[in-house]
Structure 1
Amino acid sequence: MTRAEIHHRHRDVTGGWLRPAVFGVMDGLVSNASLIAGVVGGGAGAKTVTVAGLAGLAAGAFSMATGEYTSVRSQSEMTLAEIAVERLEIARNPQAEEDELAALYESRGLTPELAREVARQLHSRDDVAWRVHAREELGVDPDDLPSPWLAAGSSFVAFSIGALVPVLPFLFGFTSVVAAIVLTALGLAGTGAVVGRLTSRSPLASGARQLLLGAAAAAVTFGIGHLVGATLT
Structure 2
Amino acid sequence: MSTGLPHVAGHEHPDVAGGWLRPAVFGAMDGLVSNVALIAGVAAGASTAGADQSQSVLLAGLAGLSAGALSMAAGEYTSVASQSEAAQREIAREREEIRRHPAEEVAELAARLEVMGVDTDLADRVADQIHRDPEIAVTVHARQELGISPDDLASPTVAAVSSFLSFAVGAAIPLLPWLLGVPELWLAVALTLVALFACGAVVAQVTVRSWWYGGLRQALLGGVAAAATYGLGALVGVGLG
- TM-score of the pair, normalised by structure 2: 0.91
Q: 2 CA distance for matches of 1:139 and 1:6?
A: 24
CA distance in 2, matches of 1:57, 1:110: 54
Secondary structure of the corresponding residue to residue 61 of structure 2: helix
Question: Which residue of 101, 106, 112 maps to 2:114?
Answer: 106
Give, in whole Å, the separation in 2 of the partners of 1:217 and 1:121.
57
Partner residue of 1:138 out of 138, 146, 171: 146
Structure 1 residue 230 displacement after superposition: 1.1
Q: CA deviation at 1:225?
A: 0.9
Where in structure 2 are there 5+ consecutive unaligned residues? 1-7
The answer for the alignment partner of 1:163 in structure 2 is 171
Q: Give 1:175 shift.
A: 2.5
Alignment correspondent of 1:53 = 61
What CA RMSD, in Å, does the superposition of the two structures yield over aligned residues? 1.3
- What amino acid does structure 1 have at the position aligned with 2:29? M
Q: Secondary structure in 2 aligned to 1:230?
A: helix
Indicate the residue corresponding to 1:204 in structure 2. 212
Match of 2:44 in 1: 41
Q: Mapping of 1:180-191 within 5 angstroms?
A: 180-191=188-199
Identity of aligned residues (%): 55
Mapped partners of 2:18, 2:183: distance in 1: 42
Higher mean C-alpha deviation, range 161-170 or range 177-186: 177-186
Q: Which amino acid aligns with 2:74?
A: T
- Give CA deviations for 1:158-193 in whole Å, capped at 9, x if unaligned: 001100000011011123212111111111111111
- Count of equivalent residues: 229
Match of 1:9, SS state, is coil
- Rounded to whole Å, the distance in 1 between the matches of 2:135 and 2:195 is 48
| Alignment-derived partner of residue 11 in structure 1 | 14
- Aligned match for 2:105, one of 77, 84, 97: 97
Task: After superposition, give the CA deviation of every residue in 1:41-81 in whole Å (9 maximum; x if it has no partner).
Answer: 21251111001001100000001111111110000000000
Q: TM-score, normalised by structure 1?
A: 0.94
Q: How does 1:143-154 map to 2 (within 5 A)?
A: 143-154=151-162
Q: Distance in 2 between matches of 1:19 and 1:60?
A: 17
**Structure 1 unaligned blocks of 5 or more:** none
Matches of 1:195 and 1:7 in 2, distance apart?
23
AA matched with 2:169? I
Q: Tell me which residue corresponds to 2:24.
A: 21
